A and B are shown apart, each in its own frame.
Chain A
């Protein structure tokens, strides 16, 4: 079983749609969780850290379910510029340096 699993997609949605991505992780000791966005031929960029209480940043909402070892990302009112690959990222250390484990990413295509 992969440490971090994501549906590779692609998710094809029209502008204005709401889309949700899910991710599961296998290491129950993981303490920190992130969503990164990666555009084609670019480096990953941190989109959101995911906290136990869930968090929202504008159109983006992240949720964490530790019992099910499951993370989600919800994007509301999709824009064309949201088209990218979204990487679910998990670490197993609670302090000190983070050894991040990356999912293979979910590709999102937003069309006019």
Chain B
């Protein structure tokens, strides 16, 4: 597995402002992902962040709203831009780890950032 930390753990922000969430992992990983979990719902993938290339966004998410950086193999940031109350959610990063011997991949999640936009 991997040990993943996120900062901040929670924040309350005013509409129109931006927040940058940091994700740090204790080992080098190729693939990092950003998800959103809105209240009472399951996780939705925002984008995939591969080191050295532009992030790949899922349908309904755009770079201008959710710019992502991936400067190295242990770190990524997600910015939630020009926030509105609809952006209130938990934002989680995850990393993909190869399961040796099983030729499979598993994802592990950071503790999440709880964002409230007022």
Contacts and interface: CB of A to CB of B under 8 A. Distances in A.
A98 to B, nearest CB: 5
Question: How many A residues are at the interface, by size bracket?
Answer: 10 to 19
Nearest to B41: A104
A45 B42 contact: no
Contacts of A41: 114
**Which among A32, A34, A98 has the greatest number of chain B C-beta atoms within 10 A?**
A98
Contacts of A43: 92, 109-112
A49 B92 contact: no
A104 B39 CA distance: 11
Question: How many B residues are at the interface, by size bracket?
Answer: 20 to 34
Interface stretch (B13-21, B65-73, B80-88, B97-105): B97-105
Nearest to A103: B42
B109 A45 contact: yes
B59 to A, nearest CB: 11
B42 A105 contact: yes
A109 B114 CA distance: 24
A97 B31 contact: yes
A87 B92 CA distance: 15
Interface of B: 1, 30-31, 41-45, 48, 50, 92, 96, 99, 102, 104-112, 114
13 contacts: A34-B106, A42-B112, A44-B43, A44-B92, A46-B1, A49-B106, A97-B31, A98-B31, A98-B107, A99-B48, A100-B45, A100-B107, A102-B43
